[in-house]
Amino acid sequence: MRKVLTINYSQTGQLSRILQSICAPLSQSTQIELEAINIVPSKPFPFPWPFLQFFRIFPETVVMETIEIEDVKTKYQNYDLIILSYQVWYLSPSLPIASFLQSEQAKEIFANTPVVTVLGCRGMWLMAQEKVKNMLQQLKAPLLDNVVLSDDCGAFFSFLATPLWMLTGKKQPVSWIPPAGVGEQDILNAHRFGDAIKLRLEQDETPLTQSMLQGLGAVKINEKLIASEKVASHSFKIWSKILRKIGPQQSKRRALGLMVYVTFLIILILTVVPISALLKKLISPFTKDKIKQQKQYFAEPSGE
């Protein structure tokens, strides 16, 4: 009997639905035992988020400062595969998942166990996955595949749609902005990844060592966002240090600092981002080889 463990944390429930779609074929197999655990913060995060609270966790999320989470209980010590699903917060894995991956429990569960990561997010996820890759390496857990389902509303509108969803709890609080979130058909079609994993587990009893999802469109790299993510990640690191020095998470000093930061962020999105996009388009003929290499790297191990 093959043993597969899924690990998940989802605030809105969208990521849970994606994971369920992927795992549906596995749950129907008589040769696979599927076990699911959810990561639970000792102090739950709200949804929808109060405005300031949404930004207060920004510095701690960027540096992946651990929070208290409930202990998880698993049936077995060893698994044939772990499917790790996580949200992206501020170009980083969500605090509950980042905390779990840095825990003593994770060292025991992940050691020498192949992993498939699953993300449901807006278009910017590359830097978060880089952080998860590093943590999996420290856990000695080989990454075999990565599945990313991104928002339907597009990169530009997601700057507005996703925060509005987080702050109001509504996918489309205003009519002129497309609804946030992954499309329903994309979620339903995610079962194809489970079909491929099921086929490999049932037909070959050897340990998993190679990608199972190549050729299935597991990820799609938006080349226009690669440079933007790198610049934003660097900016986030600088601002997270500044804000942590200004004051503790719930302090008035932190709140004032955050208001300055949010203003800076809005100006950045309205001015620097469009200008940067234009410049990248102008120099694209001279950088196409480099961009191609970057796309291939970030698409690994499953490929586009």
Task: Specify the CATH architecture of the domain 1-304.
Answer: 3-Layer(aba) Sandwich (3.40)
Mean pLDDT over each residue of the chain, to the nearest integer: 92
Contact 116, 85 (CB under 8 A): no
Q: How far apart are CA 304 and CA 289, in angstroms?
A: 17
**pLDDT over 70 at 151, yes or no:** yes
For the stretch 182-205, pLDDT in tens is 999 999 999 999 999 999 999 999
CA proximity to 100, closest of 214, 182, 5: 5
| Confidence at residue 255, expressed as pLDDT on a 0 to 100 scale | 94
The pTM (predicted TM-score) of the whole model is: 0.94
The domain limits of the chain are 1-304
Cβ-based neighbours of 85, under 8 Å, separated by 6 or more: 6, 7, 8, 9, 10, 15, 16, 18, 19, 117, 118, 119, 120
Question: How open is the CA angle 187-191-192, to the nearest 5 degrees?
Answer: 120
For the stretch 39-64, pLDDT in tens is 999 999 999 999 889 999 999 999 99
For the stretch 224-274, pLDDT in tens is 888 888 888 999 999 999 999 999 999 999 999 999 998 988 887 777 667
